[in-house]
Amino acid sequence: MRRTLAVAALAAVAVVACPACGKGKDAAQGAQGFESPAPPFNADAAFALLKQQVAFGPRVPGTPGHQLQLDWMVKYLRQRADTVILQSFTTVAPNGDTLHLTNVFARFKPANADHVLLLAHWDTRPTADNETNLALKRQPILGANDGASGVAVLMQLADDLKRHSPPLGVDLLFVDGEDYTGDMYLGSEEFAAKFAPTYHPLYGVLLDMVGDQNPSYPVEPSSQQYAPEVVQRVYDMAEKLGLGQYFPRSPGIEIQDDHIPLNKAGIHTVDLIDFAYGPDGVSNEYWHTLQDTVAHCSPAGLAAVARVVGALIYTGG
Ligand SMILES: [Zn+2]
């Protein structure tokens, strides 16, 4: 993904008072006595899934790591989902490279009238563009956060969905070719072109860069523009769960990401993204560098987004 504009105002990482905290309630119980009907999310298991992806090496289209990750995801999802659809396609990137890409679409209760769509990109960027050293700039990133984090949450949720049947259909979409060069979103564009005419989920939630050590997901402005009702639903749920400190309602930086092709195709989708991936929770200095590593990630953000989307799913959307 990339920033749309040179937005000067970095969203302050405001720590919103948590109404439940002062009363000494368990963290699993949110404000207003609301308890999520979702099974408890195992953030450590999700973090292990993040590490496994990084262990494959960079997941750049056309490389061994990309193929290893695809085989691993498909095997894991086929053991859990009701249906796994592979959407393979070949495209020529603007730089002339021919890319063989695959979206993985794992469906739970596909016959249900209502569905929710959750998605993340599984490929990683071929070049560390934000390195200043020209030699390092040419190397591929590991994508512990930018790639593996969203996938880790969705895969762990797949495990929960297998063991605890949801009250509606849930579709997990792992898109390829998000980060090849520039703002291309090849997988989400392909999905939108082929599926959107006949596929109408209630809404979509995109998870991108959800694994850093200072989680904060302010409202992404194009999500607010295209899908205000979904933004409200997500941020209301975060507040009910007592997770408002991770989901400030202040506007964040506008991001071009996989939610744009889906929104343009009529699938109202919000982008939950923490675009402050750095040592202080404010700067974004690890993004698209060789510092996008497991050491700069943590299970906390994975848990925060998983608890919100889990609660939405198990309350019926
Ligand atoms: Zn990226």
Q: How far is the CA of 280 from the centre of ligand 1 (A)?
A: 19
Q: Ligand 1 centroid vs 303 CA: distance in angstroms?
A: 21
- In a domain? residue 61: yes
Q: How far is the CA of 129 from the centre of ligand 1 (A)?
A: 10
Domains in the chain, number: 1
Predicted pLDDT at 19: 35
Cα(292) to centroid(ligand 1), Å: 10
Q: Tell how far the Cα of 36 is from the centroid of ligand 1, in angstroms.
A: 32
Q: How far is the CA of 100 from the centre of ligand 1 (A)?
A: 19
Q: How many Å lie between the centroid of ligand 1 and the Cα of residue 311? A: 28
Question: Which pLDDT score, from 0 to 100, does residue 245 have?
Answer: 96
DSSP, residue by residue, the chain: -EESS----PPP------TTGGGT--TTB-GGG-B--SPPP-HHHHHHHHHHHHHT----TTSHHHHHHHHHHHHHHHTTSSEEEEEEEEEE-TTS-EEEEEEEEEEESTTSS-EEEEEEE----SS-TT-SSHHHHTSPP--TTTTHHHHHHHHHHHHHHHHS--SSEEEEEEE--SSSSSS--HHHHHHHHHHTTT---S-EEEEES--BSS---PBPHHHHHH-HHHHHHHHHHHHHTT-TTTS--SB---EE-THHHHHHTT--EEEEE----STTSS--TTTTSTT-SGGGB-HHHHHHHHHHHHHHHHTT-
Ligand 1 center from residue 76 Cα (angstroms): 24
pTM for the model: 0.91
Whether 203 is covered by a domain: the verdict is yes
Per-residue pLDDT averaged across 98-116, rounded?
A: 97
Predicted local confidence at residue 181, as pLDDT: 76
Percent of the chain with pLDDT over 90: 85
* Distance from residue 161's CA to the centre of ligand 1 (Å): 28
Does the pLDDT at position 17 exceed 50? no
Is 150 inside any structural domain? yes
Position 12 in a domain = no
Average pLDDT, the chain: 91
Q: Domain range spanning residue 163?
A: 32-314
- Whether residue 13 lies inside any domain: the answer is no
For 242-272, what is each residue's pLDDT tens digit?
999 999 999 999 999 999 999 999 999 999 9
CATH number of the domain within which 89 lies: 3.40.630.10
Residue 275 CA, ligand 1 centroid: distance in Å: 10
